[in-house]
Amino acid sequence: MLTHHRRPVCLSLVSTDLPIWSTVETAATLYQKDQERFHLLLNEPSIPDQEPEQQAIAPNEQNPRRRLLWLEISPYRVIMTMQESGKWSYRHLWEPGVYGVSRYWLQGDSLKGYELLRLRNYTRSLTLEGRPLPQHLCLEYELWAEKVQLGCYVLNLQIHH
Protein backbone atom coordinates (compact mmCIF):
# COMPACT_ATOMS: atom_id res chain seq x y z
CA MET A 1 0.00 0.00 0.00
CA LEU A 2 2.38 2.72 -1.19
CA THR A 3 0.61 6.01 -1.86
CA HIS A 4 2.16 9.45 -2.04
CA HIS A 5 1.02 13.01 -1.50
CA ARG A 6 2.78 16.31 -2.25
CA ARG A 7 2.49 18.62 0.78
CA PRO A 8 3.96 21.90 2.05
CA VAL A 9 5.96 21.32 5.25
CA CYS A 10 7.76 23.30 7.91
CA LEU A 11 10.65 21.55 9.68
CA SER A 12 12.31 23.27 12.62
CA LEU A 13 15.05 22.37 15.06
CA VAL A 14 15.46 24.39 18.26
CA SER A 15 17.86 23.92 21.15
CA THR A 16 16.35 24.62 24.55
CA ASP A 17 19.72 25.45 26.12
CA LEU A 18 21.95 26.67 23.26
CA PRO A 19 21.52 29.45 20.68
CA ILE A 20 20.59 27.03 17.88
CA TRP A 21 17.49 27.47 15.75
CA SER A 22 16.83 26.44 12.17
CA THR A 23 13.67 26.30 10.04
CA VAL A 24 13.04 24.96 6.56
CA GLU A 25 9.78 25.60 4.71
CA THR A 26 9.40 23.68 1.48
CA ALA A 27 7.31 21.15 -0.41
CA ALA A 28 7.75 17.48 0.44
CA THR A 29 6.50 14.14 -0.78
CA LEU A 30 4.75 12.03 1.84
CA TYR A 31 4.69 8.29 1.15
CA GLN A 32 2.28 6.13 3.13
CA LYS A 33 3.84 2.71 3.76
CA ASP A 34 0.97 1.35 5.89
CA GLN A 35 -1.50 2.61 8.53
CA GLU A 36 1.18 4.00 10.88
CA ARG A 37 4.36 4.22 8.80
CA PHE A 38 5.30 7.08 6.49
CA HIS A 39 8.31 8.32 4.57
CA LEU A 40 8.76 12.02 3.93
CA LEU A 41 11.23 13.31 1.31
CA LEU A 42 12.23 16.96 1.11
CA ASN A 43 15.02 19.15 -0.22
CA GLU A 44 16.68 21.96 1.66
CA PRO A 45 19.42 24.39 0.63
CA SER A 46 22.98 23.21 1.03
CA ILE A 47 25.26 24.65 3.68
CA PRO A 48 27.75 26.89 1.85
CA ASP A 49 31.42 25.92 1.81
CA GLN A 50 32.50 29.54 2.19
CA GLU A 51 32.09 32.29 4.76
CA PRO A 52 29.32 34.85 3.96
CA GLU A 53 31.89 37.55 3.10
CA GLN A 54 33.59 35.23 0.59
CA GLN A 55 30.25 34.35 -1.02
CA ALA A 56 29.61 38.01 -1.83
CA ILE A 57 32.98 38.18 -3.60
CA ALA A 58 32.84 34.75 -5.29
CA PRO A 59 29.25 33.45 -5.31
CA ASN A 60 28.58 29.76 -5.66
CA GLU A 61 27.34 28.27 -8.90
CA GLN A 62 23.90 29.27 -10.24
CA ASN A 63 22.24 26.07 -8.97
CA PRO A 64 23.71 25.33 -5.54
CA ARG A 65 23.82 21.72 -4.33
CA ARG A 66 20.71 20.59 -2.55
CA ARG A 67 20.47 18.39 0.49
CA LEU A 68 17.97 15.54 0.50
CA LEU A 69 16.25 14.87 3.84
CA TRP A 70 14.45 11.56 4.23
CA LEU A 71 12.35 10.91 7.33
CA GLU A 72 10.93 7.51 8.23
CA ILE A 73 8.06 8.28 10.60
CA SER A 74 5.89 6.15 12.88
CA PRO A 75 4.38 6.74 16.34
CA TYR A 76 7.16 4.56 17.77
CA ARG A 77 10.32 5.58 15.93
CA VAL A 78 11.72 8.27 13.64
CA ILE A 79 14.79 7.96 11.43
CA MET A 80 16.12 11.04 9.64
CA THR A 81 18.80 10.78 6.97
CA MET A 82 20.44 13.70 5.19
CA GLN A 83 22.39 13.06 2.00
CA GLU A 84 24.40 15.64 0.14
CA SER A 85 26.81 15.27 -2.72
CA GLY A 86 29.16 17.53 -0.79
CA LYS A 87 31.27 16.85 2.26
CA TRP A 88 28.88 15.51 4.90
CA SER A 89 25.80 13.43 5.66
CA TYR A 90 24.05 12.27 8.80
CA ARG A 91 21.52 9.78 10.15
CA HIS A 92 19.57 10.00 13.42
CA LEU A 93 17.49 7.29 15.07
CA TRP A 94 14.98 8.34 17.75
CA GLU A 95 12.79 6.06 19.90
CA PRO A 96 11.07 7.24 23.10
CA GLY A 97 13.02 6.34 26.24
CA VAL A 98 15.93 4.90 24.23
CA TYR A 99 19.50 6.02 23.57
CA GLY A 100 19.57 6.11 19.79
CA VAL A 101 22.54 6.73 17.53
CA SER A 102 23.35 9.86 15.57
CA ARG A 103 25.98 9.28 12.88
CA TYR A 104 27.75 11.97 10.89
CA TRP A 105 29.89 11.19 7.84
CA LEU A 106 32.49 13.88 7.13
CA GLN A 107 34.62 13.92 4.01
CA GLY A 108 37.98 15.64 4.20
CA ASP A 109 39.86 17.27 1.38
CA SER A 110 41.85 14.10 0.74
CA LEU A 111 40.56 11.19 -1.31
CA LYS A 112 40.72 8.80 1.67
CA GLY A 113 36.95 8.65 2.01
CA TYR A 114 34.71 9.50 4.91
CA GLU A 115 35.32 9.81 8.63
CA LEU A 116 32.51 8.64 10.90
CA LEU A 117 31.46 10.53 14.02
CA ARG A 118 29.01 8.76 16.36
CA LEU A 119 26.95 10.48 19.02
CA ARG A 120 24.10 9.22 21.18
CA ASN A 121 20.71 10.81 21.54
CA TYR A 122 18.21 10.17 24.30
CA THR A 123 14.60 10.61 23.15
CA ARG A 124 12.52 12.22 25.89
CA SER A 125 9.29 12.21 23.88
CA LEU A 126 7.93 11.48 20.43
CA THR A 127 4.46 12.73 19.45
CA LEU A 128 2.84 12.07 16.09
CA GLU A 129 -0.58 13.65 15.45
CA GLY A 130 -3.00 13.36 12.54
CA ARG A 131 -5.12 10.69 10.94
CA PRO A 132 -5.14 9.17 8.40
CA LEU A 133 -2.06 11.19 7.35
CA PRO A 134 0.33 12.76 9.86
CA GLN A 135 0.03 16.50 10.40
CA HIS A 136 2.47 17.18 13.24
CA LEU A 137 5.56 15.45 14.62
CA CYS A 138 7.33 16.65 17.76
CA LEU A 139 10.56 15.07 19.04
CA GLU A 140 12.31 16.14 22.24
CA TYR A 141 15.78 14.70 22.72
CA GLU A 142 19.22 15.14 24.28
CA LEU A 143 22.45 14.79 22.32
CA TRP A 144 25.44 13.13 24.02
CA ALA A 145 29.14 12.53 23.29
CA GLU A 146 30.23 9.87 25.77
CA LYS A 147 29.28 11.41 29.16
CA VAL A 148 29.06 15.02 27.93
CA GLN A 149 25.64 16.39 27.09
CA LEU A 150 25.71 18.49 23.89
CA GLY A 151 22.32 20.10 24.41
CA CYS A 152 18.59 19.46 24.46
CA TYR A 153 16.64 19.81 21.23
CA VAL A 154 13.09 19.96 19.91
CA LEU A 155 12.42 18.89 16.33
CA ASN A 156 9.02 19.96 14.97
CA LEU A 157 7.55 18.91 11.66
CA GLN A 158 4.32 20.50 10.48
CA ILE A 159 2.71 18.87 7.40
CA HIS A 160 0.05 21.11 5.87
CA HIS A 161 -2.95 19.59 4.10
86-98: pLDDT as tens digits: 667 899 999 999 9
The answer to the question of residue 29 being in a domain is yes
Find all residues with CB under 8 Å of 127, minimum gap 6, and list them. 136, 137, 138, 139
The answer to the question of residue 7 being in a domain is yes
Per the structure, how many domains does the chain have? Answer: 1
Question: What is the domain-level CATH number for residue 73?
Answer: 2.40.128.20
Name which of 27-36, 38-47, 73-82, 149-158 the model is least confident about. 38-47
The domain of 118 spans 3-45+63-159
The answer to the question of residue 41 being in a domain is yes
Asked if residue 50 has pLDDT above 80, the reply is no
The answer to the question of residue 51 being in a domain is no
The answer to the question of residue 40 being in a domain is yes
Whole-angstrom distance, CA of residue 129 vs CA of residue 73: 11
The answer to the question of residue 53 being in a domain is no
